[in-house]
Structure 1
Amino acid sequence: MKSFNWAFVAGLALATAAEARADDRPNVLFIAVDDLNDWVGYLGGNRQTATPNIDRLAARGVRFTRSYCAAPVCNPSRAALMSGLRPSTSGVYENDDDWRTAIAPELTLPTAFRKAGYTIHGAGKIYHESYGRRTEWNEYLPTAGQDPKPTGDTGVGGIKFAPLDCKDEDLREWKIVDYAIDQLGQKHDKPFLLTVGLHKPHMPWNVPRKYYDQHPLESIELPPHRPDDLNDVPPAGVQMAKPEGDHKAMLESGRWKEAVQGYLAAISYCDAMIGRLLDGLDRSAYRDDTVIVFWGDHGWHLGEKSHWRKFALWEEATRAPLIWVAPGVTKPGTVCERTVDFMTIFPTLTDLCGVPTPKHVEGKSIRSLLVDPKAPWDQPAVTTHRFKNHAVRSEDWRYIRYENGDEELYDEKADPYEWVNLANDPKYASKKVELAKWLPTSNHPDINPTGRPGAAAKTAARAGE
């Protein structure tokens, strides 16, 4: 019996499907990950992490080593990236600020692509889920259900972690990725924007036990930290750190390493889902004509500076992964050490896809860096946390100015853990002036002023999604 060359047949079918679409603009696979800091293999933020699939994606294109969020909070970070408007422009600063009241549908990334003839599909967490506006998509996975809950102990105070005795597919991430794989397996007559938002490693760090087993407790190392790290931090920074809250409870519990294990396990589970998604893309007709952008919405502290969670303007809370794969533009295995923030994502996507960039978009395209990672780039990253609190991060420095005028300045080359605040040293006065010119000049009031920081409503929202 004659044997068929099935690989050839499959390749021909894929090529035929790809050629069938008259519009040859690239598709977009837009991958957002919740609360993923720099504990990713290619970033080297923590040597205990295991992210072979994220690293596999990074090897396909350009990986940025200095990439930062617009805001270290889920809601304002996502609202800024998706609208092109910084928090200081929109007034969206907190998790309980309904961004939809400040950002019209006409201003958003999905709308820009939809107007340009793209079909928009989505699943999972793209906007902050308390305030969805799924009418911007042609189709959105209605729900991925709820994750199983652990029995017994669930963590330390508000820091939630515990292994689950269940299968990978019992978590909602599996269903979110399933939806994306299904879309990649279908024939599309128009170019598409497929947005995929994964929740893990957002708390609770409840994932199948096998991912905890990948990080044995006896081998866990604590992140670099100093008990006196806040001694030279001004009052406004200490207030953000809240060392008497989560960190005090963690120290008293003696379970710091268990919490680190939980975060690492949640990252490993997330990485497995990324692997499934990449495999689905590689099996599809769109593997060679799809732009991929992968980003984390902000960083996360696990005791550095006596702080837990995001909600701060230091390196750990603001740094997150950024990976670009753009056929015909990026080259595999490329590393870019320029400092960028996530306000560049909207205009870079429109630039790569031939979609008009709306005039209101505040970021600039980094296409030049995708082509040549050493191309000139003079803009630092700017991160905002609440009204008039900003951080400016250049390749070598971080400058923080709070609403009350308090300042921090760190030499990132000499002091990568930001242990020595140089802001009060006259020797660095000119450096502060140089960096301060990048601070936002417009600071819109909080769109929800009745719940300003410190109010019960804000506190409750910060503890949630």
Structure 2
Amino acid sequence: MKISDIPVKLLGLTLILFLSEINVTLAQKNEKYNVLFIAVDDMNDWIGPFGGYEGIKTPNIDKLAKKGVVFKRAYCSAPACNPSRASLLTGVRPSTSGVYHNNQPWRPVLKDAVTLPQYFTANGYEVKGAGKIFHNSFNDQASWPVYFDVPHSPEPPKKPVNGFANFDWSPVDVKDEDMGDFKVVNQGIDFFGKKHEKPFFLAIGLTRPHLPWYVPQKYYDQYPLSEIKRPKVTENDLADVPAAGVKIAKPNGDHKFIKEHDQWEKAVQGYLASITFADGQIGRLLDALDKSQYAKNTIIVFFGDHGWHLGEKEHWRKFALWEEASRVPFIVYAPGISTLNGVSDRTVNLMDIYPTLVDLCKLPAKKELEGNSIAALLKNPAAPWKHPSVTTHGFGNHAVRSEKYRYIRYNDGSEELYDHDVDPLEWKNLAKEPKYAAVKSELAKSLPTLNAKDAPTVKESGE
């Protein structure tokens, strides 16, 4: 059929539809991105995309990893909930603010800080938070036009079950629907089901796998005790660690209890079960987004606030400057920008989230932010990058992580150095070997030049 044979009216209608499609496409390109900000508490690198534990079941995080870019060398600014979250949400490093620990309220020393959600609100976004975004004790009401608090989760009738105090693990005879994180995710699902006239910033914070590891029985059942594997450790791992590091590890505390009460496998089981429970909630949230009208125009940022030790370096919990305490799961998906199934080996930090979202969403630049935009790494995960990652734990204690080395300097001047190319588990401290003097000198250039005095503390802080 020739064009001359097509009725004029049909040609006109075809042209109108064609131009409409172009206009829709252009409109989509000019739309502001929405942001889904997913914070997970105490989740280390054991999840599937990071390969930390063989046999972990995290299908939903795995699916997100294939969609966006996985940052294999991502680290927290501080290995504790409060300083990590306060710093990434304000753009101010712990060494600049003096907020180093969980018992230090951050807002009194950062009175003028404009938090990430505040900045999005100021730039015309609809902003909502649900669950644990800031440290629970010091949530910032000024940051949230709308906020859904952290709901209580069920606990065993008699506790502790296997551990002591909050350091405990056990299945609970409840349904997923009874768990606080389930209710938090419901807030996100409901949000995606509504019409939003403005672009939005939605922050969803999950509490598990934070202690205590109380989750429904079905998640424990996925990890039979007979199949549990302990982390790889070596005898006398603290022998070449300076006294400042041994003091942080506290080998005669949690680790001694675990060994004396034969709880290592049970504790690992509890942690794995809690991760898989969290993964299920993340899946519910992401499925709701995928089914919504916002799926094609929403940036997803997924991260854990710090790492977690399960016996490595004779240490449990976070609160340390080694790899397991500071390495975090970090995945970013930006429609039309991020590489599909991308993997980056560059050293990035949670401090980079704020400037990256400002960059991607084309908000006015904030030069005072102490992180770096990783937008270039989303486009090309192997792009040149000259930013070692810095983690701080307490006044004057820092770790610098390059792609090859971890260098730790404590406030008494003592040091640790690990070559990750040959020693990924950080078993051999090279700091005293003369041939590494130049390596230490180069890494030390990234240490903070400002070490703010400790912010005031309060008695109650939680973990």
Q: TM-score range by the shorter chain?
A: over 0.9
Quote how far apart the aligned CAs of 1:138 are: 1.8
CA contact (8 A) 2:74 2:327 kept: yes
Partner residue of 2:230 out of 208, 222, 227: 222
Q: How does 1:100-115 map to 2 (within 5 A)?
A: 100-104=107-111, 106-115=113-122
CA contact (8 A) 1:17 1:187 kept: no
Quote how far apart the aligned CAs of 1:39 are: 0.5
Partner residue of 2:352 out of 341, 344, 364: 344
Partner residue of 1:281 out of 278, 285, 289: 289
Match of 1:7 in 2: none
Q: Distance in 2 between matches of 1:430 and 1:175?
A: 52
Q: 1:99 to 1:27 in 2, by over 3 A?
A: same
One-letter amino acid of the structure 2 residue matched with residue 94 of structure 1: H
Confirm whether residue 333 of structure 1 aligns to residue 341 of structure 2. Answer: yes
Q: Distance in 1 between matches of 2:25 and 2:35?
A: 14
Match of 1:148 in 2: 154
Q: 1:104 to 1:157 in 2, by over 3 A?
A: same
SS at match of 2:73: strand
Q: Percent identity?
A: 55
Confirm whether residue 119 of structure 1 aligns to residue 126 of structure 2. Answer: yes
One-letter amino acid of the structure 2 residue matched with residue 353 of structure 1: C
Larger Rg: 2
Match of 1:13 in 2: none
Match of 2:366 in 1: 358
Q: 1:280 to 1:311 in 2, by over 3 A?
A: same
CA contact (8 A) 1:21 1:188 kept: no
Q: Distance in 2 between matches of 1:303 and 1:17?
A: 55
CA contact (8 A) 1:222 1:256 kept: yes
One-letter amino acid of the structure 2 residue matched with residue 414 of structure 1: V
Once the two structures are superposed, residues 238-274 of structure 1 have per-residue CA deviations (whole angstroms, 9 ceiling, x without a partner) of: 0000000000011000111000000000000000000
CA contact (8 A) 2:90 2:113 kept: no
Stretches of structure 1 lacking an aligned partner (at least 5 in a row) = 1-15, 452-456
Quote how far apart the aligned CAs of 1:155 are: 2.2
Partner residue of 1:406 out of 408, 414, 429: 414
Confirm whether residue 295 of structure 1 aligns to residue 300 of structure 2. Answer: no
Higher mean Cα deviation, 244-253 or 18-27? 18-27
CA contact (8 A) 1:399 1:409 kept: yes
Q: How does 1:64-463 map to 2 (within 5 A)?
A: 64-104=71-111, 106-141=113-148, 143-152=149-158, 153-158=160-165, 159-448=167-456, 457=459, 461=461
Q: 1:21 to 1:431 in 2, by over 3 A?
A: closer
Q: Distance in 2 between matches of 1:132 and 1:226?
A: 40
Stretches of structure 2 lacking an aligned partner (at least 5 in a row) = 1-22
Once the two structures are superposed, residues 331-390 of structure 1 have per-residue CA deviations (whole angstroms, 9 ceiling, x without a partner) of: 211111111111111000000001123222011101110000111001111000010100
TM-score in terms of structure 2 length = 0.92
TM-score in terms of structure 1 length = 0.92
One-letter amino acid of the structure 2 residue matched with residue 287 of structure 1: A
CA contact (8 A) 1:112 1:357 kept: no
One-letter amino acid of the structure 2 residue matched with residue 315 of structure 1: E
CA contact (8 A) 1:299 1:318 kept: yes
Q: Distance in 2 between matches of 1:22 and 1:213?
A: 46
Match of 1:39 in 2: 46
Q: Distance in 2 between matches of 1:416 and 1:22?
A: 43
Quote how far apart the aligned CAs of 1:156 are: 1.7
Q: Distance in 1 between matches of 2:28 and 2:418?
A: 51
Q: Distance in 1 between matches of 2:104 and 2:319?
A: 15
Once the two structures are superposed, residues 204-252 of structure 1 have per-residue CA deviations (whole angstroms, 9 ceiling, x without a partner) of: 1000000000000000010011131000000000000000000001100
Quote how far apart the aligned CAs of 1:48 are: 2.9
Q: 1:285 to 1:404 in 2, by over 3 A?
A: same
Quote how far apart the aligned CAs of 1:144 are: 4.3
CA contact (8 A) 1:105 1:136 kept: no
CA contact (8 A) 2:132 2:150 kept: no
SS at match of 1:53: helix
Q: Distance in 1 between matches of 2:24 and 2:270?
A: 43
Match of 2:16 in 1: none
SS at match of 2:354: helix
Q: Distance in 1 between matches of 2:443 and 2:273?
A: 38
CA contact (8 A) 1:48 1:220 kept: no
Q: 1:95 to 1:88 in 2, by over 3 A?
A: same
Q: Distance in 2 between matches of 1:397 and 1:287?
A: 39
SS at match of 2:378: helix
- Counting matched residue pairs gives 439
One-letter amino acid of the structure 2 residue matched with residue 151 of structure 1: P
SS at match of 1:117: coil
CA contact (8 A) 2:151 2:181 kept: no
Runs of 4+ in 1 over 4 A off after TM superposition: 16-23
Quote how far apart the aligned CAs of 1:421 are: 0.2
Once the two structures are superposed, residues 394-430 of structure 1 have per-residue CA deviations (whole angstroms, 9 ceiling, x without a partner) of: 1010000000001000001100000000000001000
CA contact (8 A) 2:339 2:380 kept: no
CA contact (8 A) 1:17 1:285 kept: no
One-letter amino acid of the structure 1 residue matched with residue 292 of structure 2: S
Q: Distance in 1 between matches of 2:28 and 2:70?
A: 30
SS at match of 1:196: strand
Quote how far apart the aligned CAs of 1:89 are: 0.4
What RMSD, in angstroms, separates the aligned Cα atoms of the two structures? 1.8
One-letter amino acid of the structure 2 residue matched with residue 363 of structure 1: G
Once the two structures are superposed, residues 148-196 of structure 1 have per-residue CA deviations (whole angstroms, 9 ceiling, x without a partner) of: 1113452222421010111001001011000011111111111000000
Q: 1:134 to 1:331 in 2, by over 3 A?
A: same
CA contact (8 A) 1:346 1:363 kept: yes
